[in-house]
Amino acid sequence: MNRIEQRFADLKARGESAFIPYITGGDPSLAQTKAIVLALEAAGADVIELGVPFSDPVGDGPTIQEASQRALAAGTSPQKMLALVADLRKETEVPLLLFSYYNPIIAYGVEAFVKDAAAAGADGILCVDLPPEEADAYKATLDASGLCSVFLTAPTTTNERLAIIGKQCSGFVYYISRLGVTGAREDLVTDLKQAVDRIKTHTQKPVAVGFGISKPEHAREVGGLAEGVVVGSAIVKLIGETGDTPELAERVRTFAQPLAEAAKAAAAPA
């Protein structure tokens, strides 16, 4: 059981949902990313998604696309991302999930990337655009290195495909609650409970919900329905607006803490 699996087991025992923030690695710099990870842990993050910047992030909206461009312009690479993970492991045991498109992993070499990620101290990989039907060899490589393999499911995912995703996932299943690209929203979708319940009929893995969550009231609602609450674009937007300034990490911590508290309180036992 790696850090991600252990964290979900611990949260289940306490009757709490996980707060899972996403940030783009290297935005605005690798040094700031390290400070932000530690700030998010202090705010109550249970698992942190570290985005590996990519030049063509077709599943992401403008906020995260722009963050990837900033990170690439700053010289961030997969190799530097793994070095960052290794550096973080000197100071924290917070579960770290690498969030990447398949192209950078192929360019690095799948087996080499997985091996180096595990050696650096990563706990899993979420590969955005790798179809789970074609991921047997990839998943076997992650399994052999003790890394979780996380896949996405969407409102349009068929029951047949949900069963495949449930089998291929370890750690948790990531449910995209909206069609389209990433981005903060004012309101949540209305059929969230039914969607999460349907996923749970096809897998025993924890379910984390993302896409559009930006406020504590969102986190509280989602935390009452699923085992995990993912917040990405709202945090990335704040990073972009604040820029490479001394107060960046503290601003992120201040923003994230109420979200973490709401997510955990929602599912806390009476």
Q: Alpha carbon of 252 to those of 130, 222, 245, 246: distances in Å? A: 31, 21, 12, 12
Known active-site residue 91: no
Q: Facing residues of 50 across strands?
A: 23, 98
Known active-site residue 56: no
User: Considering 27, 49, 116, 221, which one is annotated as catalytic?
Assistant: 49
The token duo for 270 is 């009476």
**Contact at 8 Å (CB) between 182 and 60?**
yes
User: Considering 5, 60, 221, 227, which one is annotated as catalytic?
Assistant: 60
Q: For the stretch 2-34, what's the b/e string if a residue is b when 16 or more beta carbons lie within 10 angstroms of its beta carbon?
A: bbbbebbeebeeeebbbbbbbbbbbbbbbebbb
Kindly state the helix (H) or strand (E) to which residue 175 belongs, with its residue range: strand 173-176
| Helix (H/G/I), strand (E/B), else coil: 232 | coil
Rounded to whole angstroms, the Cα distance separating 40 from 256 reads 7
The token duo for 237 is 């937007």
Catalytic positions, written as ranges:
49, 60
